């Protein structure tokens, strides 16, 4: 069992929480991204750099994760794929994606994508708040308590 991180867009504060959790629980954390990401020296924390390209990091995570793993991502289609493999998906904002809510999240994502492609400005996500960091930490701790 391990934690996979869709690291291209994962906020630094969330990575730091994950690095501390790896050291505390001795659970491996692997960051996957298409650009270099500095990680602390630890046998528990690894970084996999993939080539540039659309969804290359996502595809690598899907290929490597196994049932019971935790995947940290804001990418709804990636969350859907890893949930189908028996993994759990958690957003950096503390939202847990499950079999019960992922399809509705995909529908909203597709709707917003349609709006953007028709020229409507939908704006990007807000900066990560301290409440969201705390929500992430709480959900991560719950998962760790159940799985370590």
Q: How confident is the model at residue 59 (pLDDT cuts 50, 70, 90)?
A: very high
Q: Which of the four CATH numbers 2.30.30, 3.40.50, 3.30.420, 3.40.1620 does domain 3-147 have?
A: 3.40.50
Query: Which carries the bigger pLDDT value, residue 120 or residue 56?
Result: 56
Long-range pairs, 92-95, Cβ under 8 A, ≥24: 92/10, 92/11, 92/14, 92/128, 92/132, 92/136, 93/128, 93/132, 93/135, 93/136, 94/132, 94/133, 94/134, 94/135, 94/136, 94/137, 94/138, 94/139, 95/135
Q: What pLDDT is recorded for position 106?
A: 72
State yes or no: pLDDT of 110 exceeds 70: no
- Domain borders along the chain are 3-147
Is the Cα dihedral 67, 62, 92, 116 positive or negative? negative
pLDDT digits (tens, 9 = 90+) for 19-49: 999 999 999 999 999 999 999 999 999 999 9
pTM: 0.87
Contacts of 148 (CB under 8 A, 6+ apart): 25, 26, 27
| pLDDT tens readout for residues 126-146 | 789 999 999 999 999 999 999
State residue 115's pLDDT score: 60
Residue 107: per-residue pLDDT: 62
Average confidence (pLDDT) over 84-108: 87
**Any idea what DSSP says for residue 47?**
E
């Amino acid at each position: 069992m391990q934690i996979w991180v869709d690291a291209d867009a994962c906020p630094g504060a969330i990575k730091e929480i994950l690095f501390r959790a790896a050291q505390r629980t001795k659970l491996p954390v692997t960051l996957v991204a298409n650009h270099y990401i500095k990680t602390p020296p630890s046998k528990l924390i690894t970084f996999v750099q993939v080539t540039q390209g659309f969804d290359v990091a996502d595809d690598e995570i899907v290929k490597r994760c196994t049932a019971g793993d935790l995947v940290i991502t804001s990418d709804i289609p990636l969350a859907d794929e890893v949930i189908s493999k028996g993994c759990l998906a958690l957003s950096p904002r503390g939202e847990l994606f499950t079999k019960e809510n992922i399809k509705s999240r995909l529908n909203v994502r597709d709707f917003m994508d349609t709006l953007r492609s028709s020229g409507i400005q939908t704006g990007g996500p807000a900066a990560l708040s301290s409440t969201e960091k705390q929500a992430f930490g709480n959900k991560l701790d719950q998962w760790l308590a159940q799985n370590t």
